[in-house]
Copies of this chain bind each other. A is one copy, B any other.
Amino acid sequence: MAEKTIYLAGPDVFLPDAVAIGRRKQQLCRDYGFEGLFPLDKDEETEADATKIFRANCDLMRRASIGMFNLTPFRGPSADVGTAFEVAFMFAAGKPLFGYASVTTDYYDRVAATFGPITRRDGQPFDQNDCAVEDFNLYDNLMIARAIEDSGGVLVRVDENDSRGPSLAALKAFQAGLEVARSQLR
């Protein structure tokens, strides 16, 4: 198998030990025959400039041949919006996409767990704020879940907790995702 480059997207860049987690994920990529590109791999100097970070991330995504997206919920029941953006950016480029998360629930159940019971009206489910809740037995918003499947990839979920709750690094699911990616892209 020729070496393939994986863009490592996810909210783990916001963890205090983000750089160490990135290194660990890059090592795991090597173990599976991939090269991992992590968004924090850049000059410290560029960290403080939103435009430079944006362009550096877009460049990394253009360089990568595969996208690996940490979709563990971040600041709400859904994935990080920056990660959702990156799913579409790489989907539009026609690259295979893999998702992973440290929770195994569906979006519907996480909305109920976060905001309270979901009620049905004319068969349609609504949250406590009277907004419809997607009920497709999918991990997250259908645009994200379907893009991954349409790209030929899969979304892997493995429960893993730390002191915060669901592990935002999601290393077990990440490794399971690498396993699937290797077998699919062999």
Measured between alpha carbons, how far is A15 from B124 in the docked complex, in Å? 12
Q: Which residues of B contact A85 (CB under 8 A)?
A: 84-85, 87-88, 141, 143-144, 147
A142 at the interface (CB under 8 A from B): yes
Chain A, 127-166, CB within 8 A of any chain B CB:
127, 129-134, 136, 138, 140-147, 150, 164
Question: With contacts A81-B84, A136-B50, A143-B82 known, is A75 near B111, CB below 8 A?
Answer: yes
Contact of A50 among B76, B79, B145 (CB under 8 A): B145
Q: Which residues of B contact A114 (CB under 8 A)?
A: 75
Q: Which residues of B contact A89 (CB under 8 A)?
A: 88-89, 91-92
Report how many copies the assembly holds. Answer: 2
A29 at the interface (CB under 8 A from B): no
- Is there contact, CB below 8 Å, between A16 and B81? no
A33 at the interface (CB under 8 A from B): no
Q: Which residues of B contact A11 (CB under 8 A)?
A: 131
A21 at the interface (CB under 8 A from B): no
- Is there contact, CB below 8 Å, between B126 and A82? no
Measured between alpha carbons, how far is A146 from B81 in the docked complex, in Å? 13
- Is there contact, CB below 8 Å, between A131 and B78? no
Q: Which residues of B contact A132 (CB under 8 A)?
A: 13-16, 18
- Is there contact, CB below 8 Å, between B115 and A75? yes
Measured between alpha carbons, how far is A24 from B131 in the docked complex, in Å? 19
A35 at the interface (CB under 8 A from B): no
Which 7 pairs show the lowest CB-CB distances between chains A and B?
A76-B76, A92-B92, A88-B88, A54-B146, A81-B84, A82-B141, A50-B136
Known contacts A76-B77, A88-B92; 14 further A-B pairs (Cβ under 8 A): A15-B132, A50-B146, A54-B143, A54-B146, A54-B150, A75-B114, A75-B127, A78-B81, A81-B81, A82-B141, A85-B85, A85-B143, A85-B144, A129-B164
